[in-house]
Structure 1
Amino acid sequence: MLDVRRLRLLRELARRGTIAAVAEALAFSPSAVSQQLGVLEREAGLPLLERTGRRVRLTPAGEDLVRHAEAVLERLERAEADLAEARTGLAGALRIGSFPTATRAIVPAALITLARRHPRLEPMVCETDPAAVAHALRAGDLDVALVHEYDFVPAPREPGLTTEPLYGEAMYLAAPAAPAAPAGTPEEAGRDQGAVLRTHAEAPWITATPGTLCHAMTVRACQAAGFTPRVRHQVDEFATVLALVAAGQGVAVVPQLGITGADRAVGLTRLLMERRTQLAFRSGAGAHPAVAAFGAALRAAVPAELASPRAEA
């Protein structure tokens, strides 16, 4: 009989490519991962792995087993959901991943609703960059998470995960306000987003830290407009970004939930870009009562001014 825990390791290896990466992600030692995969090969009765230098490649049999593992793990998630639904009331921990603007603007109201409807459920929020959510969900460190994507940074399909759309946000160019402009009041960009961005091609830019979706979004939007931004500051928190813009330190692209309380020294121009937020969970877990309850509470907490997300990436 194949061991489900070892099937999880094989799936992670297919995703990450090295035993060291699997060990680091799942808090195992590399030798423990190698040992467990060796046991899985003996259980399977044929080779599942081929070593190519420092990396490990799955054999055709290994790739086929990963596909079966995805189906098995999804069925297990559905079984857990059915068992949870059969219990009386929701109780226990629900581990939630969220990014900062959603944590501030959406999640608190959702938690109030959740506490009123399911007082024995214990939501536990951990701020997690969307780029790290897939690994945390597959590893079991999170049960559900909010993730986002941008027009210039579409989210890749993640095996073993399912997403549901929540809301969309407009994007704004934040720049020091001109003396005669109505500072702090968003203006429409019109149809030529590239022209708006190129106006600031020679200005210093403020981006998120490299490796985040927000950083990639700003860089790619500027490159699509015909230039590479000259980055002066790298800051992840949008309130701090706007404070730097107000201080004349550069320009930035900021999502709708990030412009709340913008200083009057900041001029805001709406762009033809969007950030779309989804709810992510392990495939098969969408029917779990706790996940479904959190999703319903989130949707009730979304402010009316946020748009319904577009279907396309």
Structure 2
Amino acid sequence: MLDPRKLRLLRELAHRGTIAAVAEALTFTPSAVSQQLSALEREAGVPLLERTGRTVALTPAAHLLVEHAQAVLEQLERAEAALRALTEGPRGPLRIGAFPTAARTLLPPALAGLPPGLEPMVTEIDPADVSAALRAGELDVALIHEYDFVPPITDRSVETHALFSEAVFLTQRTSLEEARDDPWILAKPGTLCHTMTIRACQAAGFEPRARHHLDDFDTVLAFAAAGQGVALVPELAARPPHPGVRLTPLPISRRTLIAFRRGYGGHPAVSAFHQVMAGMTVFQSS
């Protein structure tokens, strides 16, 4: 019978690409990962890896096995969650990931509303990194966001539920076309906020001229108020309004979602967090 622990390593290799990356993410040594994957090959009875020097690639049989591994691991998550729900209430550590705006504005009141037996442990994380952190067991649940113009960034191992949607504002101007020749304050390359701004401007027919790269929206608004450029800012990040910054809503939205490992939503701690977040007034969509 195939070992689920080894299947998990194969799934991570499919996502991360190298044995070294899998070892680092799951706190193994590279040699231990290699040994476990070799043992999985023997259990499967077919070659799973094509080795060329220090690089490896998954064979067609390995890709097929990864598809089945996702279903197997999801069922195991569901079984564990059901057992926890049967034998205990929401208690113990709950590792929560959140993007900075959510950590600042949403989590303080949410954490105060959790059952007293839970011990929340919060880590700020970019939504693009959440799938890997959930798969590796570094997080139990996370708040992520999605923008128009940017495709979803979670993979098949992660289940998401929408919480609310908010408008995206342009600072100091009334339209993107009016801001065509302005200097821009962009998020750092590689973030969803950066990609959204670039693509929104491209859809309006121009490439934004970046002057600053800043991730903290309070700093972005302060720079905008000081005449250092224009920016796109989600509604939640503009609460309360910054003095000296004019905000114009655009036909662009940002959606906040809760994310957890597929099959794990019934875990008492994750379910309790989900219920608290869904019950907050800010999540009542218009």
Instruction: Classify the TM-score, shorter chain.
Output: over 0.9
Aligned amino acid, residue 51 of structure 1: R
Matches within 5 A, 1:284-299: 284-299=263-278
For 1:86, the equivalent position in structure 2 comes to 86
Q: 1:164 aligns with which of 161, 165, 171?
A: 161
For 2:238, the equivalent position in structure 1 comes to 259
C-alpha distance in 2 between matches for 1:153 and 1:73: 28
In 2 relative to 1, CA 275–197 (structure 1 residues): closer, same or farther, beyond 3 Å? same
C-alpha distance in 1 between matches for 2:210 and 2:230: 10
For 1:192, the equivalent position in structure 2 comes to none
C-alpha distance in 2 between matches for 1:222 and 1:66: 38
C-alpha distance in 2 between matches for 1:241 and 1:55: 42
Q: 1:230 aligns with which of 198, 209, 230?
A: 209
For 1:36, the equivalent position in structure 2 comes to 36
For 1:307, the equivalent position in structure 2 comes to 285
2:12 matched to 1:12? yes
Q: 1:143 aligns with which of 128, 140, 144?
A: 140
Percent same amino acid at aligned positions? 61
In 2 relative to 1, CA 244–53 (structure 1 residues): closer, same or farther, beyond 3 Å? farther
For 1:46, the equivalent position in structure 2 comes to 46
Kindly indicate whether the alpha-carbon contact (under 8 Å) linking 2:130 and 2:154 is maintained by their aligned counterparts in 1: no
Kindly indicate whether the alpha-carbon contact (under 8 Å) linking 1:174 and 1:267 is maintained by their aligned counterparts in 2: yes
Q: What is the CA-CA distance between 1:157 and the residue it aligns to?
A: 5.0
Q: What is the CA-CA distance between 1:113 and the residue it aligns to?
A: 1.2
C-alpha distance in 2 between matches for 1:29 and 1:201: 51
Kindly indicate whether the alpha-carbon contact (under 8 Å) linking 1:70 and 1:160 is maintained by their aligned counterparts in 2: yes
In 2 relative to 1, CA 157–107 (structure 1 residues): closer, same or farther, beyond 3 Å? closer
C-alpha distance in 1 between matches for 2:85 and 2:59: 39
C-alpha distance in 2 between matches for 1:86 and 1:94: 18
Kindly indicate whether the alpha-carbon contact (under 8 Å) linking 2:128 and 2:154 is maintained by their aligned counterparts in 1: no
For 1:101, the equivalent position in structure 2 comes to 101
Q: What is the CA-CA distance between 1:18 and the residue it aligns to?
A: 2.1
2:103 matched to 1:124? no
Kindly indicate whether the alpha-carbon contact (under 8 Å) linking 2:128 and 2:153 is maintained by their aligned counterparts in 1: no
In 2 relative to 1, CA 276–245 (structure 1 residues): closer, same or farther, beyond 3 Å? same
In 2 relative to 1, CA 55–166 (structure 1 residues): closer, same or farther, beyond 3 Å? farther
Residues matched between the structures, number:
286
Q: What is the CA-CA distance between 1:33 and the residue it aligns to?
A: 1.9
Q: 2:181 aligns with which of 202, 205, 208?
A: 202
2:222 matched to 1:243? yes
C-alpha distance in 2 between matches for 1:31 and 1:199: 57
Ranges in structure 1 where 5+ consecutive residues have no aligned partner: 177-188, 190-195, 309-313
Ranges in structure 2 where 5+ consecutive residues have no aligned partner: none
- Provide the TM-score with structure 1 as the length reference: 0.87
What SS does the corresponding residue of 1:266 show, helix, strand or coil?
A: coil
Q: How well do the aligned residues superpose, as a CA RMSD in angstroms? A: 1.7
